Chains A and B, each alone.
Chain A
């Protein structure tokens, strides 16, 4: 589903990712870990084509991304749900609007948009916050809105960047349970985190980055 072959990415002569190769199979839940600045966010950006590699090959859902023109990017992104590290919530729109926009972008009609948005709001226990604005929410609530927006279109791939970054352990567990439910439906998931609690004893594949190098592929135990 996600395949990197000798991928390198530089920023102004500084290497962010060096000769990275790995695969995530369809339906797999994989963790990406490493200290901050090790290149996790950059790797995710390469997947949703916010960045392009300087070298190497990236294949997403069977498509060689080097063949995808700018006009084809929206189509790729519609098969991906993204939990951004910096949330990217729309401040002047309600929680409902923030989530439903993901469906509207995909051209889904008004009625279906409503039912699906309210369903996912229930799913993340935010039904009562539908008409609130993001600023009025706690960090954990905001995080769940971002997750709801990522999963509501039922993407084939879910990318999550530090989804438990500033959460207390209980809330973090709730977030992980949401991911597990999505995973159970067959979604391929890649989670970037420096929190080892998330993958400990899960048996899931863990990719370990350090200063842009992939230094290990192990299984969480």
Chain B
């Protein structure tokens, strides 16, 4: 239980040293805001990349002039794979038709072609629940082994790059968060230390009158926690106002931003996170001060 008097001492000190405290709150708020914005960006990258493979289909290019029974056995073999949802055969003529309709008025590009250069192919759709990169990779490897399959295109390079970028971003985000959290703890640490040294005279008297360490420390712990929580609250306000003033306005003119998700619930613990960081800073500070 926190003695009401410790709370009173904490409040008094917070008011008395309001400029130092305000500065600390703002620094902590800025730090937590940067962490939140990075998290927000990573969160959206993650969501976006998770959606991508679900639309994913794979193209298997076949050798020319396969016999019908050979083709059937290839399709059967591929259908046996649990990741496969559907297999559609696209003959070279069909592929040409699709290409022509895709090119529409520009189909002059294809003029002068004497022979259809496109191969017969299979379009494979993957199950929603089996869309990981590994699944696609394995399926491609197995398909390549089948006699009559010439080539498999599943956008490997794209997926690999995307995953690497994602991992890189996550790593940078983590390092960033660790550095900034350490910074925030340090800000609280220094603030509490300053507050403490400004009151050494009083603390010395308290001790001579019989105050325990707990009596002396508790107000500083409260102060550290409060400053941290205020910083967290500030960053929370920052997150919401950034979202409402910047992002929502941007999405009016640039619809791309409509896809951006704002995980409001995930930001709500910010004041608690700030409080814990503040408490950590205060605890370290009090642990290191000799008195």
User: Residues of A at under 8 Å CB distance from B?
Assistant: 48, 50, 71, 74-78, 80, 82, 84, 88, 90, 92, 101-102, 104-107, 110, 149
CB-CB contacts below 8 Å: B174-215 with A: 202, 204-213, 215
A104–B208 alpha-carbon span in the complex (Å) = 14
A78–B210 alpha-carbon span in the complex (Å) = 5
Contacts A104-B5, A107-B3; is A90 near B202 (CB within 8 Å)?
yes
The listed residue with most B CB atoms (<10 A of its CB), out of A75, A76, A105, is A105
Q: Is the CB of A77 within 8 A of B3?
A: no
User: Residues of B at under 8 Å CB distance from A?
Assistant: 3-5, 16, 202, 204-213, 215
Q: Which residues of A contact B207 (CB under 8 A)?
A: 74, 77
- A50 to chain B minimum Cβ distance, whole angstroms, is 7
Q: Is the CB of A50 within 8 A of B215?
A: no
The listed residue with most A CB atoms (<10 A of its CB), out of B4, B208, B210, B213, is B210
Contacts A90-B205, A101-B206 known; list 6 others, CB within 8 Å: A74-B207, A74-B212, A74-B213, A88-B205, A105-B210, A105-B211
Q: Which residues of B contact A105 (CB under 8 A)?
A: 206, 209-211, 215
Q: Is the CB of A74 within 8 A of B210?
A: yes
Contact of B208 among A75, A77, A107 (CB under 8 A): A77
The listed residue with most A CB atoms (<10 A of its CB), out of B3, B205, B206, B208, is B208
Contacts A71-B213, A107-B3, A110-B4; is A48 near B208 (CB within 8 Å)?
yes
A102–B209 alpha-carbon span in the complex (Å) = 6
A76–B209 alpha-carbon span in the complex (Å) = 10
The listed residue with most A CB atoms (<10 A of its CB), out of B3, B4, B212, is B212
- A178 to chain B minimum Cβ distance, whole angstroms, is 19
A-B contact pairs, 15 of them (CB 8 A): A50-B208, A74-B207, A74-B211, A77-B209, A80-B210, A82-B208, A82-B209, A88-B205, A90-B202, A90-B205, A102-B209, A105-B206, A105-B215, A110-B5, A149-B209
Q: Is the CB of B205 within 8 A of A77?
A: no
